[in-house]
Amino acid sequence: MPNKHTLERARKDKREGKAPTTQAGEFVREEIEHIREGKHGARSTKQAIAIGLSKARRAGVDLPPPEKGTTSEKTRKSAARALKKGKEGAKPDAKRSRATTAALKREGRKAASSESLSKQARAAAAKRTSAERSAAAKKAAKTRGLSKRSAPARKAAS
């Protein structure tokens, strides 16, 4: 179950009209924090991100499963299942949660290191085209809010 603060931040992002991926980013951040705190580990940074996205879907973030051809059929089915559970508002299964946590506790903590996260971010960015990155930046600027937009504008003007 995600923290109350994480849910609040995700809801705030939704109210501000931000994308489902931005809302889900709060859950990924929480997952990285858990690993850093030593609550559990993860086999890789990708796994830590996947756990965060799954939590987001189960918490009701309208994040669609990955498209065909981008990931395995198993991953897509798991994402679709998590999304369905989130829409139903189903309570998490206690036995499954305990088993997952027990398995993750046996994993390492390196997945949340700044080096690993940086490597993952660069690899993800390299897969995107320049146009895609530019479009994402423009969309982010639109939903940033007036106060956060005006400061860089003033700086550019001076």
pLDDT tens column, 134-147: 998 888 888 777 77
Q: How many domains does the chain have?
A: 2
pLDDT on residue 42 = 96
89 and 137, same domain (yes or no): no
CA distance 116 to 138: 27
How does pLDDT run across 51-81, given as a tens digit for each residue? 999 999 999 999 999 999 888 999 999 999 9
Mean pLDDT in residue range 22-32: 95
45 and 107, same domain (yes or no): yes
110 and 138, same domain (yes or no): no
CA distance 86 to 154: 42
The reported pTM is 0.81
136 and 96, same domain (yes or no): no
CA-CA-CA-CA dihedral for 14, 15, 16, 18, to nearest 10:
20
59 and 73, same domain (yes or no): yes
152 and 122, same domain (yes or no): no
36 and 106, same domain (yes or no): yes
- Cβ within 8 Å of residue 109, ≥6 positions away: 35, 36, 38, 41
21 and 68, same domain (yes or no): yes
72 and 113, same domain (yes or no): yes
146 and 105, same domain (yes or no): no
Its domain, for residue 157, covers: 130-158
Residue 148 has pLDDT above 80, yes or no: no
94 and 107, same domain (yes or no): yes
Q: Are the C-beta atoms of 62 and 17 separated by less than 8 Å?
A: no
149 and 73, same domain (yes or no): no
